[in-house]
Amino acid sequence: MASDIADTEVTASLAARVRDAAASGTPLRIRGGGSKDFYGQALQGEVLDMTVLTGVVSYEPSELVVTVRAGTPLAELEALLAAQGQCLPFEPPHFGGAGARATVGGMVACGLNGPARSSVGAVRDYMLGVVLLNGKGERLIFGGQVMKNVAGYDVSRLMAGSLGTLGVLLEVSLKVLPVAPQEATLVFDMDEAASLRQLNRWGGLPLPVNASCWHGGQLWVRLRGAKAAVAAAQKTMGGDLVDEPSLKLWAALREQTLPFFELQDGESLWRLSVPDTAAPLPLGATLLEWGGAQRWVKRSGGHPAGDVQAIRDAALAACGHATLFRSANKTVPVFSPLKAPLDRIHRDLKKQFDPAGIFNPGRMFADW
């Protein structure tokens, strides 16, 4: 574990940098390993490097709680947990290409989740507490290291998915879980509509379905849980059992290294969040996750305004929303515009945490 004295010195240096930036109005780009630099709007501001703040503060395997500094590599935390037969069940993606290295702070700030999200919850559901610097350089503590410690607004969970626009994460406390004792993957030949119907039928049964993926006429379903439950589900559901080497599918799905996610010039990747009961959306090449609630769509054509609006209108008609996840064109709004009441809440929160507006300006929305 890193020394507390070193931690105090690094924190003091970061706080001084924030105060100076606030006084001069200098934008800061809070950055861990850079693995999620592609996500959100165009990057702005001087880099505030968080990889200088690493190490595990505390870990109690018997209590299923770990507290870690924000710049700690995510791979190191996962290795520590694995040695105790535990894990981050929401399977956060690393996206560590070209020398980038995912960090715990970046994991929280981006709020992204892997294939198991629909069955086990999201990163925000495992947040117990945070230590952060606000836009005045003040060190603030929210939450703690147990589940029943929240009174009033749960600021810890608010940090998940905020893209560093509200504060500089210093420490994060997370709930962890034991690794499931048994796992199996089944594959079925089905079209998209049949897969959605089948996933919804299974969703109403007591089956240990942990993750699902449909693309190109095949539905993959991962079972996790007690050995007896997994064995019984295999008999109930049918399908073909996938051999061990093929199970790399789930890691490739999490890290978006499947061929589907390879983008050619002019192509973009959209993430649609819709009800899992929504009918197939004829928007282009599609991959389904999370029982049909998350749908990845590839588009080409440089995002003319009408094309973007068509995608967002289709998602809205399905009672969902669309996010431009990967694109070389940063002039298009990445996130769906917020309705006026929600936009006002977001802006008020931003003013409270970052009154000078220096943290990751424009990363989430171009005008704040």
Mean pLDDT within 160-164: 96
Residue 58 lies in a domain: yes
Average pLDDT score over the chain: 92
Mean pLDDT within 268-295: 96
Considering the domain architecture, whether residues 219 and 102 belong to the same structural domain is answered as no
Last residue of a domain, one of 178, 199, 225: 178
pLDDT exceeds cutoff 90 at 243: no
pLDDT exceeds cutoff 70 at 29: yes
Both tokens assigned to 123: 């990163």
| Per-residue pLDDT at 5 | 61
Rounded distance, CA 174 to CA 143, Å?
Answer: 11
Evaluate whether 34 touches 68 at the Cβ level (below 8 Å): no
Considering the domain architecture, whether residues 187 and 318 belong to the same structural domain is answered as no
Residue 352 lies in a domain: no
Mean pLDDT within 19-37: 96
pLDDT exceeds cutoff 60 at 193: yes
Considering the domain architecture, whether residues 244 and 268 belong to the same structural domain is answered as no
pLDDT exceeds cutoff 60 at 1: no
Considering the domain architecture, whether residues 82 and 31 belong to the same structural domain is answered as yes
Evaluate whether 45 touches 363 at the Cβ level (below 8 Å): no
Residue 205 lies in a domain: yes
pLDDT exceeds cutoff 70 at 240: yes
The CATH number for 123's domain is 3.30.465.10
Residue 333 lies in a domain: no
Considering the domain architecture, whether residues 207 and 299 belong to the same structural domain is answered as no
Both tokens assigned to 348: 């008020």
Q: How many CB atoms lie within 10 A of CB 208?
A: 19
**What share of the chain has pLDDT > 90, as a percent?**
85
Mean pLDDT within 265-275: 94
| Per-residue pLDDT at 2 | 47
Residues in the chain, overall count: 368
Considering the domain architecture, whether residues 206 and 284 belong to the same structural domain is answered as no
Considering the domain architecture, whether residues 227 and 276 belong to the same structural domain is answered as no
**What share of the chain has pLDDT > 70, as a percent?**
93
Residue 315 lies in a domain: yes
Evaluate whether 113 touches 90 at the Cβ level (below 8 Å): yes
365 Cβ contact list (under 8 Å, min separation 6): 41, 333, 335, 338
Mean pLDDT within 307-316: 93
The CATH number for 196's domain is 3.30.70
Considering the domain architecture, whether residues 186 and 249 belong to the same structural domain is answered as yes
Residue with tokens 């703690």: 144
Considering the domain architecture, whether residues 195 and 230 belong to the same structural domain is answered as yes
Residue 149 lies in a domain: yes
Overall domain count for the chain: 3
Last residue of a domain, one of 226, 255, 284: 255
Mean pLDDT within 312-335: 93
Last residue of a domain, one of 213, 229, 255: 255
Considering the domain architecture, whether residues 207 and 166 belong to the same structural domain is answered as no
Considering the domain architecture, whether residues 11 and 147 belong to the same structural domain is answered as yes
Q: Which residue has the higher pLDDT, 365 or 305?
A: 365
Mean pLDDT within 334-346: 93
Q: How confident is the model over 206-239, as pLDDT tens digits?
A: 999 999 999 999 999 999 999 999 999 999 999 9
Q: Which of 25, 68, 67 is nearest to 50 (CA)?
A: 68
| Per-residue pLDDT at 78 | 97
| Per-residue pLDDT at 99 | 66
- 48 residue type, one letter: L
Residue 360 lies in a domain: no
pLDDT exceeds cutoff 70 at 267: yes
Considering the domain architecture, whether residues 251 and 263 belong to the same structural domain is answered as no
Whether the CA torsion 43, 49, 50, 55 is positive or negative: it is positive
Residue 45 lies in a domain: yes
| Per-residue pLDDT at 100 | 76
pLDDT exceeds cutoff 90 at 143: no
| Per-residue pLDDT at 175 | 97
pLDDT exceeds cutoff 80 at 63: yes
Which range marks the domain in which residue 225 is found? 182-255
Residue with tokens 């230590």: 131
User: Phi/psi of residue 23, each to 5°?
Assistant: -65, -35
